[in-house]
Amino acid sequence: DAKTTQPNSMESNEEEPVHLPCNHSTISGTDYIHWYRQLPSQGPEYVIHGLTSNVNNRMASLAIAEDRKSSTLILHRATLRDAAVYYCILRDPPGNQFYFGTGTSLTVIP
Amino acid sequence: GAGVSQSPSNKVTEKGKDVELRCDPISGHTALYWYRQSLGQGLEFLIYFQGNSAPDKSGLPSDRFSAERTGGSVSTLTIQRTQQEDSAVYLCASSPRQGATNEKLFFGSGTQLSVL
C-alpha cells in the first residue's frame, strides 16, 4: 500500500478557507487519491476522491499536483462542524483496501 | 435502516472472555469491512468480505480474531480470550461494490471495546 504523509494537526479560523496537504511521492499511475474525515465519536465519512484532474463537490475541492506526488483538500469556508480528523488515502482498485494513516486533526477556531 | 448499524455501541469485558461484535451493513451493499482504531490512532484494516467470502484476512492481528458474514448481510467479529491490548473502537463499513474506482465506504459509529 502506497504511503501518504500528512501534518498531524492544523488550525483554521471559522469562515476562512482551509488547505489540507497530503504528500504521496511514491504514488503509482493507477492509484486514486481518496479523502475521508472522522468527526468526534463517529466513523469516517467520504469527502472526495480523484485520479489526475482537480475535483469539486458540495463538501470540498481536491487539487492534485501535476506530477501527482501531492494533493490538497480545500474547504472553502470552514465551519465548526468541519472540525475533524482528515485522512488522505491512496488506493489502486480493484482488490486493494483502503489503508488509513493517522490523518490531520483540524481545529476550527470560532 | 438508513446506515450501517453496529452493536453493541459499548462493551466492557474481563480479560480472557470472548466477545462478539455485530455489524448490519446498508441493505444491498455487497462489500463489508472491519477496522480497529486504538485511542488516538488511525484506522487499522482487519478484514473485508465480498458477499459471504473473505478474500483478504491479512489484517487480523492473531488467531484469536475471526469474522463471518451470513446471507451476504450481517457480519460478526469474534475475539476470543480477550486481552487488554484488544481495547479499541471496532468500526464496520460497507460499500455497494468492492473494487470499483468510485467505491465509497459507509461507516457505522463503531463498538467501543474495553477489556479490564
Q: Which residues of chain B have pLDDT under 70?
A: 1
Torsion of CA B78, B23, B74, A86, to 10 degrees: -120
Give the pLDDT mean for A25-47.
92
Q: Which residue has the higher pLDDT, B102 or A56?
A: A56
Residue to test with chain A: of B30, B101, B112, most A Cβ within 10 A: B101
Q: Which three cell numbers stand for residue B73?
A: 448481510
Q: Which three cell numbers stand for residue B8?
A: 453493541
Report whether pLDDT(A1) > 60: no
Contacts of B93 in chain A (CB under 8 A): 43-44
Whole-number Å distance between alpha carbons of A66 and A44:
28
Whole-number Å distance between alpha carbons of A5 and A21:
9
According to the model, what pLDDT value does residue A99 have?
81
Q: Would you call A42 and B33 a contact, using CB atoms and an 8 Å cutoff?
A: no
Phi then psi dihedrals of residue A29, to 5 deg: -65, -20
Count of helix runs (H) and strand runs (E) in chain B: 0, 11
According to the model, what pLDDT value does residue B114 have?
97
Q: Is residue B111 packed enough to be buried (19+ CB in 10 Å), middle (13-18) or exposed (0-12)?
A: buried
Average pLDDT over all residues of chain A: 92
Give the pLDDT mean for A6-22.
96
According to the model, what pLDDT value does residue A94 have?
65
* pLDDT above 90 as % of chain A: 76
B34 CB within 8 Å of a chain A CB: no
